[in-house]
Amino acid sequence: MKSLIFSVLVLLTSTLYAQTGLKVGDKAPEFIAKNSEGKEINLKQLLKQNKSVVLFFYRGQWCPYCNKHIKDLQDSLSKLSEKGAYVLGVTPESNESIAKTKGKTNASFSLISDRDYKIMKAYKVDFVMEESLVSKYKTYGIDVAKNNGALNAVLPVPATYIIDKSGKIKFVQFDKDYKKRASIKDIAAKL
């Protein structure tokens, strides 16, 4: 029952406060950030070295839907890489929480802690949780701000973008229903 209530609350919040995301044909905002291992990740350089970048946003290590999506991406990583794609995940969580995600999913691709939310804002996937929802999450043992290593609780709408070599977005999966994610089949078909 608690999980049903939690699911409804998250869905309602996502619907009310989420951004709109970017659209197919939009120029992908460039960024430079360090991944959880401290390696510099430069979108412009990645596009020079790969046919495309599969950029996805996830909420956190506490989210079973995020972990399943990441595991699916990991399980299909060689298939995606063979098509010239570089897979990259972005989360507001701290590197410590990213380590938990990697432990749960065996993810070997780069994950970035977007601590200042700049990447999420640029891709229009960020939303600030209201205090009442923050309190509700805490009753389920989820402290979003603490997991993010921040004072405020910000989450992304789970979204996936495929960015082509020219820097244009050629695929978007953006759904305010946090349970819906891009399938590997749909991603692979667009690479």
Of 54, 66, 73, 162, catalytic: 66
- Residue 158 CB partners (closer than 8 Å, separation 6+): 56, 57, 58, 59, 65, 66, 69, 175, 178, 180, 181
Is this structure's pTM higher than 0.85? yes
Active site residue 66: yes
Tokens matching residue 154:
């910000």
Instruction: Kindly list the domain boundaries of the chain, sorted by start residue.
Output: 2-190
Rounded Cα–Cα distance for residues 130 and 137 (Å): 11
Pairing assessment for the beta strands 52-57 and 85-91 based on DSSP bridges = parallel
| Mean of all residue pLDDT scores within the chain | 90
**Cβ contacts of 43-49, under 8 Å, gap ≥ 24:** 43/163, 44/167, 46/86, 46/88, 47/163, 47/164, 47/165, 47/166, 47/167, 48/165, 49/86
What is the per-residue pLDDT for 178?
85
Kindly give the parts of the chain with pLDDT less than 70.
1-18
Cα-based distances in Å from 117 to 81, 136, 156:
27, 22, 9
CB atoms within 10 A of CB 166: 10
155-167 pLDDT, tens digit each: 999 999 999 999 9
CA nearest neighbour of 87 among 28, 45, 46, 30:
46
CB atoms within 10 A of CB 186: 13
Instruction: Please name the CATH architecture into which domain 2-190 falls.
Output: 3-Layer(aba) Sandwich (3.40)
Question: Which amino acid is it at 80?
Answer: L
Rg (CA), the chain: 16
Helix, strand, coil % (nearest 5) of the chain? 40, 25, 35
